[in-house]
Structure 1
Amino acid sequence: MSSNQITANSIVKATSQEVTPFKVPSAAPAPRKKKKVLDEDAYVQKIEAIIQRDFFPDLTKLQVQAAYLEALETNDIPKLREIYEKFSVGPKVHDSHRGGHASPATFETPVRDFSDTESVHSASSVGSSKSKLLAEQKESLDEFLFKNTSEDNESFEEMMDEAKKKHRIKHAWLYDTEHQSLSKQESNLALPSIEKQALEDSKPAQVETWKYTVKNSVMYVPEGAPLTVAERVKLALDKDHIAHSNTHFQSNPFDESRNREAVQKAAQLQTNTRQGHVDVDGKEIQSSAPPTVNGFTFMKTPSPAPGVGDSPLMTWGEIEGTPFRLDGSDTPLPSSTVGAGSFHLQPVSERDRIGLKLAEKVGKGYRDRRGRKSAMAHISTPHSSGMSTTPSNKTPSVKTPGTIR
């Protein structure tokens, strides 16, 4: 082998063993989809409205009934009138000047009413806002969460993105190796020139088509093959959806007649098992049968109140003075004990409401102040201590050795 060829081989090996300089990884994580950031209160209110609409559709009716019964109990006439006007079946009462044009009182030329033009121009904006409102009302919970997020969730996502960036910068050698492997693989697959083939004395000790990845299939769960077009279409069509009608009972799930028969059978079985048994006194246990006279049992004394055993006729039809129609299950049951008070949940007082509002305001201010303090701690410059550590500033007991302090 000639000296020129030996020198060329040594140069090739020396260049291949050179250490590559440090580089920030170029492959950054894919950006996440931007969502509409809402205020925390507005975000919670919209979620509550969607959940109440889809999962608890009867809650609005129950709230109206509770408000009506409370106003009826406290004799709140304005509240009763408001509920009646809101839920009455009859036509609404409109002002007389909105029905048409008034008759002219004089023979002068009438002045153009600009309110009609304004109403025409505002009709288009009202129509667009109404269509947008209808679209928001039909929006499901998954669609709302996919398009919107709260301020806390957005700040958490930003913190996680920042942590991922710091991780990639700190472990740049790990991700940079993958990038170098891809470029090296492309160069290995290329056919070298005749001069390079003459200079090379051995083949690389690796598989040329081997793709290096940071998360290999040995130490991590493999991702698998990518989805085909047919599989993507199938996943798009077979989306999970919630049948809101199946989240609550449409009718009474308990069969009262079957339960009554089961109770009677259990009572009869218990009576049969107790026959022939004796108690602690040595007497035979008798079944607790009602007393009879000549085989006939006693009858209950009829109640002096009229219509006790009749069916309540006021549970069907439209009741005068009631702003909505009551069903049989909506009629409040009378108290079983005469003179006993009914359970009533007191509303939140104004003092407690103000206290909760002030506590929430103070907590929010404390969180903001703590966030600003933590942010300032990262950007503040270091400063030296005000006290010097020179011997001239020390106390005499420190400067003189061997003294008892």
Structure 2
Amino acid sequence: MSKKVVLEEEEYVETLGHIIERDFFPDLPKLKRQTELLREDEEGFPLTGTTIRVANTRGNMSVRSSASGAGWDEPTPTVEQLASGQLGNTQDIDDATEDDVKKSMTLNRFVATHTSEDNKSFKELQEKAVKDHQRRYHWAFDDDAEKGDPKLHLLTNGTWISKEQRRIADEACAPKGLMLVSFRAV
């Protein structure tokens, strides 16, 4: 697996938010503009029909709007597709910066190729904890053929019991035959 690109926490969250907003809530920017206009109206700025029409038509159009013909089952368009106008979108994208490329990825691809500093630190702590656990309980994770039968018991010092020691212990514990116990009535 290739290494993930580590981004600062703020940049990671901002890009992730942009991708989620674009793919799952395409009308959110339009609703935000309408909310701003309504708040301005409450504060005393008059609204005109022209202002409302401009607010509804201006700004970034969703790349998944019905006008573009793209549906939810189609992959997210790349920056190159948007720049060449393959989607019928009239946005002018001059230079596809690294930020634009990140924001044009699908959610799955972005999460698979990028991570945040916090996520990287957490993963390192998890790996360290797993290694410490394996070191502490090495006997459960060791698969050396020279140690013999994995059914052999461990001694109190953490070493394996040899086959000869196991045979002696089994002989000592094995029943010697029928055991008769005499009872006296009192």
**Greater RCO structure (CA 8 Å; 6+ sep):** 2
- So what's the TM-score if we normalise by structure 1? 0.23
Say which one has the larger Rg.
1
